[in-house]
Structure 1
Amino acid sequence: MTPGFPALLALIPGDPAIVHPLVALAVAGLIYLIADAVAHILGPLMRRRIRPLGDALAGHLRPILRHLLAGGLLILPTALWPVDSLAHLLLGAALAFAFSALAVHILRSLAIPRWAVVPIALLLFVTVLSSSSGGFAPAAGMLDGVGINLGKRRITLLGLVSMAATCVALFALVRLANRMIGRSITHAHGLDATQKLLAQKLAAIAVIVAAFFIGVDLLAIDLTAFTVFSGALGLAVGFGLQKTFGNLIAGIILLMDRSIKPGDVIVVGDSFGWVNKIGVRAVSVITRDGKEHLIPNENLMTQEVENWSYSDRNVRVRIPVGIGFDSDLKLAQELMLRAAQESPRVLRNPKPNVWLTAFGENRVEHDILVWISDPESGVGSVKSDVLNRLWLLFREHGITIPYPQRVIHAPPGGSRPQ
C-alpha cells in the first residue's frame, strides 16, 4: 500500500466508519460511469476495426468493455485501501462483481447455457472477493481438504471445481475462436463459397484438437494411464465411428473437389432440391416442398448424383405437347414458341425451340425445349406456366388436342362376344 494513502484518507472529515464506505461507493460508481462512457465510444470503433471479434461477441461487446474497464480501474483503489475496513470490502465486492459480470456476458455471447454460466460467475465472484481481502488461501485449503482417494490419486473438491471451470473456459474459447476465424474467412476476398466452407471446417478441427491438448496439459491428465486400453479403445472407435469418420472425410473431399457446393441443385435418388449446407456428417438438401433432407456425405461419394449446377446454372426443360392431325402444324409450332417466350422464367438466350418428335397413334407429338437459370425454384412451375399459356392460345386459334381413340371391331352379324 502507498504510504501516503492512509494519510490522504485521514484528511477526509467526518467519522471514518461512515464516510470511508460512502467514499468507496462513490469511487466505484464514478469508475463505472467512466467505464460506461469509454465503452460507449470504443464499442462501435472496435466493431468496425476488429469486425470478427465484434460479430463473435454478438451484441455483448459494449457491456464486456464496460465491465472489463471497470474491473481494471477498480484494482488500484482496492489495492490501495486498507484491508481491514468496510470500504475495502465494498471495493472488493465491486471488483468481484465486475469480473463475474464480465464472465457472464462473455459466456452468454458464446451461447453457453445458463446452468453453466451461473456457477462460474458465483465461483469467480467468491474467488476475486476473497483474493482481494487476502482470504483465498484458507478457502482453497478447505476445498482441497474435502476429497476421496482412488488408488494412487486423490480427487478433491478444489480439483473438481478447477476442472469444471477449465472445461467451461476451454469450451468458450473454442467457440470464440471458431466464430472469429469463421467470420474472418467469410469476409476474406479471393475465396469462393466452397473454399471458405472448407477452410472453416479445417480451422474448426484444428481449434478443437489444440483445445484438447491444452486441456490435457492444464488438467495434468496422465495419458500413459490409458496405454493398456488404447488398442481396444482404438478398435472400438474404429468400428463404432467408422461411418462417422467416413462421412467426415467424404464431406472434406466434396468441398475440396468442389463437385457439390452450397447452392447447387442436385438429384440424389428421390431427393431433388438445392444444397443448403455441407455439414460434418450430412449434406442438407431443401426440396421445393420446404422439406430438408439430410443425406450422408458418404452417399454422395458412392451413389450417382445429378448436379444441375455443376458447371452451368442453365437447365433445359422438356415440355411434351401433342396436337391433332388436322391442325395447322406451322401455326401450332409458332404458338408453342410464343407461349414459351412469354413465360417470365424462360431465358431468351439460349432461345426456346420446338421439335417435332413423332407421329403418334392419334396426334402429332412435339417437345417444347426451354432454358431456365433458377432450377432451385423448381421446373414444374415453368411447365405449368407454358402449358397454361399454350392452352389459351390453342383455344383462340382453333388448334385441337385430340382425345385418345379406340376402335372396336364387332363380328359379322352384329352378335356380341360371350
Structure 2
Amino acid sequence: MGGDTITITHEIALGLWAQAQLFLTGLLRPWNAYQVGIAVSLFIAAHVMAQVFGPMAREWMRHREGWPKWRMRILVMLHRRLRLIFFVAMIWPLVWVMREVTWPSRSYILAAVGNLAFAWLVIAIATRLIANNFLRSMVRYAGWTWVTLSILNLTDEAQAILDSAAFEVGETRLSLWLLVQAVIVIGVLFTMARFTSTATAAQVRKNDDISPSMQVLVVKFMQVLLYGAAFFIGLRTVGVDLTGLAVLSGAIGVGLGFGLQKVVSNLVSGIIILLDKSIKPGDVISLGETFGWINSLGARYVSITTRDGREYLIPNEDLITGQVVNWSHSNDFVRLDIYFGTAYSDDPHKVRKIAIEAANGVERVLSSKPAVCHIVGFGDSSVDYILRFWIRDPTGGLTNIRGNVYLALWDAFQEHGISIPFPQREVRMLGDTGVELPQDG
C-alpha cells in the first residue's frame, strides 16, 4: 500500500508541476500580467482603506451604548475583516465592467481571485457560529483550503492524494480524505446542535411551569442527545462503520467503569438530584460546616456560594449520601431559636412578653407567624428561656438576624430594668476567722 501511495503522489505532483508551468507561461501574455497587477493594486488599495477607515469605525462602535451583545460581536467581526471586505467590494464591480467592455478571457484571473476572496470572507463569517476555538479554526482552514482547491480545479488531485494515505482496521478503510470529511461534517453538525440546544434551553428557562431542577435536567438531556446524534450521524455520513465502534466503546466503557467509579457515581447522583427535586438552584442548604445557596447544578458537582463570597463545589454523591439541611425545600419559612437567661428577681411573665415584643420589632422577623418565648429551665444563676421566631429570607443570612434579635432583647431589658445575671461564687479561706470574701467568678 505504501508503494502505491508514493506512485500516485508522484504522478499527481508531475501533473501539478505541468499546470504550474502552464500558468506561469500564461502570465507572459500582456492581459494576464495586467490582471495580476490589477489584483495586487486592489489589494494595496483595500489595505490603505482599512488603515484609514478602521480607526473611524472603531471609534463609532465605542459610542454604540445599549446595543445588544450579538450585534456588537458582528460589528467587531466585520471590523477585523475590513481589508477583505473592501477588496471584495472593489474587485467584483471591476470584473463586471470588464466583462461588459472586453473579452471574458481578459478578466478570468480577476474573477478567480474575486471568487476566492468572497469565499474566504463567507467562510470566515460563517465559522464564527462555532463556539469552540479549536474546532472553529479547523473548520475555517479546511474550508479555505477546499474552496481554494475548487476554484483552482485541483480538487480531484487533492482528493486522490488524501485518499491514497490510508490504512485498514478490519473491514474499515480509514484515510486522510475520510478524516477531513468527518471533521467538516461533524463540525457543521455540532454547530447546528449547539444552535438548537441554545434555542431550546432559552425556551425551557422561560417556562415557569417547569421547576428549576427539571429545567436543568431537560437542558442537559437535550445537549447530550443533540451532540451525540451529531457525532454518530456525522460518522455515518462519511461512511464509517459503527459496528466496530460499538464493540470498542463497550470495552472502553467497562474499563472506565472500574477506573472512574467516583465520576460515574457523581453523574448518576446528579441525575437523581434532578429527578427527585430534593435541591434546586436558589435553595439555601447546609452541608456540614458549609451554609449557602445553590448557584447551579452540574453533571459532577453542585456550586454553592456562602455568605462570605466563597464558592464551594460539592460532589453530587455527598448530597445523596450525606445529611443535607434544605432551608427552602418546600417553602421559604425558617424558624430560628435563641437562648437567654434573666435574674430570679424578674417576673417571668413580664420577661416573656418583653422578649416577644422585642423580636417582633426586628425588621426581618415575620409578624404573620408570631414569635413565642418559653421557660426551659431554672439554672444556677438565672431563669433560662428560649425565644422562637420566623423569617422568610434565609439567603439574607442567619447569624446576622440572630444578632439583631439579641440586640433588640438587650435594649428592651435595659429599658424595663430586666437584668441578665452572671454566675456568683463565694470563696472561703481555710483557717480564717470566718470572714467571707465574696469574689466574682
- Whether these two folds match at TM > 0.5 is yes
Contact 2:342 2:421 (8 Å CA) reproduced:
yes
Contact 1:96 1:126 (8 Å CA) reproduced:
no
The alignment status of 1:319 with 2:338, answered yes or no, reads yes
Change (3 A) 1:185 1:64: farther
Contact 1:64 1:102 (8 Å CA) reproduced:
yes
The alignment status of 1:198 with 2:217, answered yes or no, reads yes
Alignment deviations for residues 249-297 of structure 1 (CA, whole Å, 9 cap, x no partner) = 2222222221211111122222222122111111222222222222222
What 5-or-longer segments of structure 1 have no aligned partner? Answer: 1-14, 30-53
Q: Which letter does structure 1 place at the counterpart of 2:109?
A: L
Q: Which residue number corresponds to residue 377 of structure 1?
A: 396
Alignment deviations for residues 14-40 of structure 1 (CA, whole Å, 9 cap, x no partner) = x9967x979xx8xxx9xxxxxxxxxxx
Partners of 2:158 and 2:303 lie apart in 1 by 52
Contact 1:246 1:298 (8 Å CA) reproduced:
yes
- Percent same amino acid among aligned pairs? 32
The alignment status of 1:257 with 2:276, answered yes or no, reads yes
Q: Which residue number corresponds to residue 269 of structure 1?
A: 288
Change (3 A) 1:58 1:223: farther
Counterpart secondary structure, 1:277: strand
Deviation at 1:383, TM superposition (A): 0.8
Change (3 A) 1:162 1:226: closer
Counterpart secondary structure, 2:351: helix
Contact 2:186 2:235 (8 Å CA) reproduced:
no
* The one of 99, 104, 109 aligned to 2:127: 104
Contact 1:21 1:86 (8 Å CA) reproduced:
no
Deviation at 1:224, TM superposition (A): 3.6
* The one of 359, 368, 378 aligned to 1:359: 378
* The one of 243, 252, 262 aligned to 1:233: 252
Alignment deviations for residues 148-173 of structure 1 (CA, whole Å, 9 cap, x no partner) = 77887765444443344344434433
Q: Which residue number corresponds to residue 42 of structure 1?
A: none
* The one of 139, 144, 162 aligned to 2:181: 162
Partners of 1:227 and 1:196 lie apart in 2 by 31
**What are the within-5 Å matches in structure 2 for residues 336-355 of structure 1?**
336-355=355-374
For the aligned residue pairs, the C-alpha RMSD in angstroms reads 3.9
**What are the within-5 Å matches in structure 2 for residues 117-136 of structure 1?**
117-136=136-155
Counterpart secondary structure, 2:425: coil
Counterpart secondary structure, 1:124: helix
Change (3 A) 1:237 1:379: same
Partners of 1:229 and 1:168 lie apart in 2 by 23
Partners of 1:272 and 1:393 lie apart in 2 by 31
The alignment status of 1:137 with 2:151, answered yes or no, reads no
Partners of 2:213 and 2:203 lie apart in 1 by 15
Alignment deviations for residues 91-124 of structure 1 (CA, whole Å, 9 cap, x no partner) = 20232123222233212xx2x22x5433432332
Deviation at 1:310, TM superposition (A): 1.4
Contact 2:128 2:136 (8 Å CA) reproduced:
no
The alignment status of 1:87 with 2:95, answered yes or no, reads no
Moved more, 58-67 or 296-305: 58-67
Partners of 2:147 and 2:163 lie apart in 1 by 18
Residue correspondences, number: 364
Q: Which residue number corresponds to residue 387 of structure 1?
A: 406
* The one of 301, 308, 316 aligned to 1:289: 308
Q: Which letter does structure 2 place at the counterpart of 1:262?
A: P
Partners of 1:388 and 1:149 lie apart in 2 by 80
Counterpart secondary structure, 2:424: coil
Contact 1:266 1:274 (8 Å CA) reproduced:
yes
Partners of 1:59 and 1:188 lie apart in 2 by 28
Contact 1:92 1:129 (8 Å CA) reproduced:
no
Q: Which residue number corresponds to residue 10 of structure 1?
A: none
Counterpart secondary structure, 2:142: helix
Counterpart secondary structure, 1:246: helix
Q: Which letter does structure 2 place at the counterpart of 1:362?
A: S
Moved more, 356-365 or 333-342: 333-342
Counterpart secondary structure, 2:423: coil
Q: Which residue number corresponds to residue 38 of structure 1?
A: none
Q: Which letter does structure 1 place at the counterpart of 2:296?
A: K
Change (3 A) 1:228 1:385: closer
Deviation at 1:382, TM superposition (A): 0.4
Partners of 2:173 and 2:231 lie apart in 1 by 23
Change (3 A) 1:234 1:155: closer
Change (3 A) 1:414 1:219: farther
* The one of 279, 300, 322 aligned to 2:298: 279
Deviation at 1:87, TM superposition (A): 2.5
Counterpart secondary structure, 2:197: helix
What 5-or-longer segments of structure 2 have no aligned partner? Answer: 1-30, 47-67, 435-441
Deviation at 1:320, TM superposition (A): 0.9
Contact 1:267 1:306 (8 Å CA) reproduced:
yes
Moved more, 173-182 or 363-372: 173-182
Contact 2:342 2:382 (8 Å CA) reproduced:
yes
Q: Please identify the structure whose Cα radius of gyration is greater.
A: 2
Contact 2:182 2:235 (8 Å CA) reproduced:
no
Q: Which letter does structure 2 place at the counterpart of 1:273?
A: G
Counterpart secondary structure, 1:312: coil
Q: Which letter does structure 2 place at the counterpart of 1:341?
A: N
Change (3 A) 1:409 1:220: farther
Change (3 A) 1:87 1:173: same
Deviation at 1:379, TM superposition (A): 0.8
